[in-house]
Structure 1
Amino acid sequence: MSKIRFGLIGSGWRAEFYIRIAKALPEMFDLAAVMIRSKEKGEAFSAKFGVKVVNTLDELVEKEPEFVVMAIKRGIVTENLITLFERGIPVLTETPPGEDVEALHQLWDAYQKYQPKVQVAEQYFLQPLYASWYKAICDGKLGEVENINISSLHGYHGASIIRQFLRTGFENCRIYGKRYWFDVTETYGRDGMVFDGEVVKCSRDRLTMEFDNGKVAYFDFSDPAQYHSFIRTRQLTVQGTRGEIDDLTIRYLNAQNIPVTQDLRRIDLGVYGNQEWSHYAVMLGEEFLFRTPFINARFNDDEIAVASCMVKMHEYINGGEEFYGMADALQDMYICLKMDEALEHPVTVVETQTQPWAQK
């Protein structure tokens, strides 16, 4: 594979992921330049991260990236995406692509008009654990998957995993539930673990999603504790006709209908005396369910997933298939908005309607 040359728009926390990835694998990724409109801010950013910074889109295009990564504030994504569509610039954009239903429709109209080369960096299904769970589903270990209980991801990220794992496509659904509030002790901050014992209020959203094809999702997310806590963890259960995923345990029937129980085993290099430091694989018994595409790269799980998005974007614009296209991104954000609507009207059924991007 040729070196992947990309441009970057943005200077926030997520933009830094792409810079770290490019620096960690210079033989694979080539960061042409970062676009920051403010000259003063751009100069400071360039000095801090050791990257070339430009101040206009024209200057970025002059660096000849094969695609641009857009990692900017949520509220201005839609208008900037449409600008790139109009100019025919291939773009990998961070989530979500729009903030409300009107913006989603505006984006779809622009997509239909300009037919751009665009994918969305919804990365969670490419993380080692989620990819391993999905491989077990695709291998048929669970039989026909019928329900999922997911307590790990918020909003559109959760919707993406629900639709993919249940294979519901663009099916409509009925959503109902409620938001609760509970006290939790802080354990984690920007500088690592905290020990002051501060107790804060934390929301917990519980929603049921019933799809037209009979499949059901139970959504459970606690914000902000679930992403940043040592005493609130992630949980996932997926049940099918022949087995279930119970977080790190998978139970299934083999070809002779003998029940098998196995645990996922993560293989990381550089622990307990090993000289390297990187993730290598996730195994179930003697099977590899996931192996990193970036051997010996010092990436965390999210960096593996984001780097995979860039590789898949390179493949897509060179004749490959979509990996997370505009229709899927819009559908997941649309479901997220309907989830929010259900939370605003506790224990009231909210129904989704077929949107333009879902029509065949």
Structure 2
Amino acid sequence: MKKIRFGLIGSGWRAEFYIRIAKALPQQFELTKVLIRDKEKGEQFKKLHGVEVVQTVEELEADQPDYVVLAIKRGIISGYLPKLFEKGIPVLCETPPGEDIEALNSVWKAYEKYQAKIQIAEQYFAQPLYAAWEKVIKEGKIGRVENINISALHGYHGASIIRRFLNAGFENVVIYGKRFWFDVTETYGRDGMIFDGEVFQCSRERLTLEFDNGTVAYFDFSDPAQYHSFIRTRQLTVQGVRGEIDDMTIRYLTEENIPVTQELNRIDLGVYGNQEWAHYGIMLGEEFLYKNPFKNARFNDDEIAVATCMLKMGEYVKTGQEFYSLREALQDMYISLKMDEALANPNKEIRTETQIWAK
């Protein structure tokens, strides 16, 4: 298989994912250069990560990468994209592609003007557990899905999984709810476990989303504790006509209407004496719902998902097969903005309207 060559714009926490993945899978990915406009910052980044750093898009483009990953601060992504579109550079863009409705519309107009090649690195659908859950839905095990309760992801990430699992497409939606505040003890951060017992106030966002196709989502997220906590965990329930996903438990009816209850079984190598260290897959009974496409790669779930986006981006550049289009990303961010509006207006019904990318 031909190696995927990509350039990178950005130097933050998320940009480092792409560097780690390229180093871990040199047979599949090659990082050409990293664009950092600040020369001094670029020199420090070069020494720290052992990568080639340039200061201009033209220098990045000179190596003719298959595509460029745009992983910069949220507020300036929408201003950067038209410049890449104009040059005809395929872009894998980190989320979100804009921070307000004006920016979203501007990006879409630039995309149409230049007939740009772009996909969005919204990775959660490609994480092992979410991919396994989606396989259960797509196989029809639980029948037609009618509602979802998700307490796992914030904003546009949550909107993405909600629309995907409900098959809501670009249906308009009524949103209402409220934000609450509760005390919680700190237990974990990006640098590891915390034992000082510090208590801080954490928001809890509770929203109901009623889509025009009759499906309903119950959104529940605690910010910032839920992503980094040992005492605030993830929960997901998806109910269909013939069964439900209840986090790690799957309940469904056979063709003879016999009720079956099974647990998802995660297979990780390198546990309890095994010599490897990698995620292998997720099973339901005798069936693999998900297999890690990167055999023996020492990745966490988010790195697996990002690497999957990188792989799918390479396929998109060659074949045009989309995996998370700009239209989808704009819709998810638009719904996220409307969710914020609903939280700012407690219990008031906020309705979306069909936007230019959804027509």
**Which digits, 9 at most, give the CA deviation of each residue in 1:125-174, with x for residues without a partner?**
00000000000000000100000000000000000000000001000010
* Alignment partner, residue 57 of structure 1: 57
The question of whether the paired residues in 1 share the 8 Å contact of 2:190 and 2:228 is answered with no
**Which digits, 9 at most, give the CA deviation of each residue in 1:186-228, with x for residues without a partner?**
0012331111111000000000000011100000000000000
* Alignment partner, residue 82 of structure 1: 82
Give the CA RMSD over aligned residues. Answer: 0.6
Aligned to 1:19, what secondary structure does the other structure show?
helix
The question of whether the paired residues in 1 share the 8 Å contact of 2:225 and 2:232 is answered with yes
Aligned partners of 1:52, 1:354: CA distance in 2, in Å? Answer: 44
Mapping 1:88-107, distance limit 5 Å: 88-107=88-107
**Which digits, 9 at most, give the CA deviation of each residue in 1:328-360, with x for residues without a partner?**
00000000000000000000000000001111x
1:265 aligns with 2:280: no
* Alignment partner, residue 36 of structure 2: 36
Matched AA of 2:31: L
Aligned partners of 1:358, 1:318: CA distance in 2, in Å? Answer: 25
1:229 aligns with 2:229: yes
* Alignment partner, residue 295 of structure 1: 295
1:247 aligns with 2:255: no
Aligned partners of 1:38, 1:173: CA distance in 2, in Å? Answer: 43
Aligned to 1:357, what secondary structure does the other structure show?
helix
Mapping 1:1-360, distance limit 5 Å: 1-359=1-359
1:39 CA drift (Å): 1.1
Matched AA of 2:153: L
Aligned partners of 1:233, 1:107: CA distance in 2, in Å? Answer: 35
Matched AA of 2:267: I
Aligned to 2:313, what secondary structure does the other structure show?
helix
Moved more, 313-322 or 285-294: 313-322
Aligned partners of 1:104, 1:181: CA distance in 2, in Å? Answer: 30
Aligned partners of 2:236, 2:189: CA distance in 1, in Å? Answer: 25
Matched AA of 1:83: K
Aligned partners of 1:265, 1:319: CA distance in 2, in Å? Answer: 34
What is the identity percentage for the equivalent residue pairs of Structure 1 and Structure 2? 73
Gaps of 5+ in 2: none
Aligned to 2:227, what secondary structure does the other structure show?
coil
Moved more, 272-281 or 182-191: 182-191
| Equivalent residues, number | 359
Moved more, 105-114 or 272-281: 105-114
Aligned partners of 1:14, 1:330: CA distance in 2, in Å? Answer: 20
Aligned partners of 1:191, 1:238: CA distance in 2, in Å? Answer: 33
**Which digits, 9 at most, give the CA deviation of each residue in 1:8-51, with x for residues without a partner?**
00000000000000000001000001011111111110110011
Aligned to 2:232, what secondary structure does the other structure show?
coil
Aligned to 1:318, what secondary structure does the other structure show?
helix
Aligned to 1:14, what secondary structure does the other structure show?
helix
Gaps of 5+ in 1: none
Aligned partners of 1:250, 1:190: CA distance in 2, in Å? Answer: 31
1:320 CA drift (Å): 3.8
TM-score for both structures, normalised by structure 2: 0.99
Flag as ranges the 4+ runs of structure 1 deviating above 6 A: none
The question of whether the paired residues in 1 share the 8 Å contact of 2:92 and 2:313 is answered with yes
Aligned partners of 1:79, 1:87: CA distance in 2, in Å? Answer: 14
Aligned partners of 1:281, 1:214: CA distance in 2, in Å? Answer: 34
The question of whether the paired residues in 1 share the 8 Å contact of 2:67 and 2:90 is answered with yes
Matched AA of 1:174: V
Aligned to 2:297, what secondary structure does the other structure show?
coil
TM-score for both structures, normalised by structure 1: 0.99
